[in-house]
Amino acid sequence: MDDAPQYTDGQAWHSKTGRDALQGLWRLLDMPDEAMDYIDLSGGEPALPSSFAVGVAAQASMAAAALAAAELWHLRGGRRQRVAVDMLHAAHECRSYFTLDGVAPDVHDKLTGVYRCGDGGWVRIHANFAHHRDGALALLGLPAGPATGREQVEQALSKWRALDFEDRAAEAGLVVSAMRTFEQWDRHPQGLALAGQPPVTIERIGHADPRPLPRYGHDARPLKDIRVLDLTRIIAGPVCGRALAAYGADVMLINSPRLPNIDTIAETSRGKLSVHADLETADGRIALANLLRSAHIFVQGYRPGAMPSLGFGPEEAARMRPGIVYVSLSAYGNSGPWAGRRGFDSLVQTATGFNHAEGLAAGVCAPRPMPLQILDHASGYLMAYGAQAALARQATEGGSWHVRVSLAQTAGWLRSLGRVPGGLQIATPPIDGFLEQETSGFGQLAAVRHAAQFSLTPARWARPSMPPGSHPTVWPFS
């Protein structure tokens, strides 16, 4: 491909294969090489209309999580089984497409999106939660509430520099990002802080004796009787819990009755118990502590510093439950000047250069998003992969473990996968053949069935998706 076009950062128009990407993830956490003989990856790029290897990212991250589940099953006495992941199926699952009673919910506020600023730069505003929307409007001097329209926001932003608005919004605890090129992100202090960091890390955080996993018959799913506390709310963390539930874990989603959710909770809650616990109250913290004392995995996506302030940081959790696998999700990692900054997939896409590069590939001057929130979904599967790899270490070596994933580090991994020639020229393939129907607590749910196929212990969601607070705050009997 000597005549392949090049990006200004030197990236050529070619991408890694799904197997190459999976191999890198597998070796990153020192997983057994022989397991790679049992993975079947089908399909190829382009899977969806993008110049980035979003299909490879979806397939490899999901395959890592599924193959880790198969390894745990082998560790529990089962013989190795084959795991298959089709790229298009995985990409469709990562699109978050679903319907309730035949209607696809609109999960985006009308003000969410990109805007041109007075200096010619661009910013992306995330307004899907009312408090984020109203905070951004207040910063712009506009009336709060849904009556304010995009034209008013555009006019107000014409008086701002993009980077200034980004900084002021961050100071106010809002979720806004300015568009950067890859080169600009690479020179940014946060880009420099993350340079060379892997997409998932595991660290021993305490002493604990090994807790061997109980063995079951060959018809049991890999994570039978593994208890997972899921303290996440948007997409990446819930995808982690949903995957673990598909592989047999008892996953308990814990929501605060005071905090809003987005409609995707109906799709990402498949297979989970769903409870209420207000961690701002003593009763809520006591309930969580009681659940933690018999949990295996604790997954949290709270803003940086929030869980330690509530008494449930990684070290505190390890003291309460020696041997816990603690999984943390952040937007921009745990080091650097943006370590405490909030963010969502679309904002990280904008800040780290992807929207600029996708627009450049499409021949437009405006930011262009990728066709799915791949940073969220890949991060979710990387969290599930890391959690299971750490669980295997705990069962054999002992210790308490901390798994870390961030959207920005996932972005760096996606960028390392390369580019897809002709990726933007294809249409989005039909999704209908990948959907399944189920009755849920939200209505009749149609969503994509899980793309990871196991030869001996099929993945499935044994519990229907239910609204927050539907279950009691106690673990079910085995």
Q: How far apart are CA 394 and CA 13, in angstroms?
A: 41
Segment 358-414, tens digit of pLDDT: 999 999 989 999 999 999 999 999 999 999 999 999 999 999 999 999 999 999 999
Residue 465 has pLDDT above 80, yes or no: yes
Asked if the structure places residue 137 within a domain, the reply is no
Q: What is the pLDDT of residue 11?
A: 58
Question: Binning pLDDT at 50, 70 and 90, where does residue 110 land?
Answer: confident
Structural domain harbouring 198: 18-105+192-336+369-454
260 pLDDT tier (thresholds 50, 70, 90) = confident
pLDDT at residue 429, as a whole number: 97
Q: What is the pLDDT of residues 325-365, one digit of tens each?
A: 999 999 999 999 999 998 999 999 999 999 999 999 999 98
Whether 459 maps to a domain, the answer reads no
Does residue 170 fall inside a structural domain? Answer: no
Task: Give residue for tokens 């989970």.
Answer: 272
- How many domains does the chain divide into? 1
Number of neighbouring beta carbons within 10 Å of residue 243? 31
Q: Is 88 within the bounds of a domain?
A: yes
284 three-class SS = helix
Helix (H, G, I), strand (E, B) or coil at 235: coil
Question: Residue 407's domain is classified under what CATH number?
Answer: 3.40.50.10540
Tens of pLDDT along 2-39?
A: 333 334 444 556 789 999 999 999 999 999 999 999 99
- Give pLDDT, residue 135: 92
In this structure, are residues 97 and 104 in contact, taking their beta carbons and an 8 Å threshold?
A: yes
Which of 5 and 45 is assigned the larger pLDDT?
A: 45
Q: Is residue 276 in a domain?
A: yes
What is d(CA 391, CA 400) in angstroms, rounded to the nearest whole number?
9
| pTM for the predicted model, two decimal places | 0.96
Looking at the domain assignment, is residue 286 inside a domain?
yes
pLDDT, position 3: 32
Helices and strands, counts by H and E, the chain? 17, 16
Kindly state whether residue 345 falls inside one of the protein's structural domains: no
Q: Is residue 58's pLDDT more than 90?
A: yes
Residue 232 lies in a domain: yes
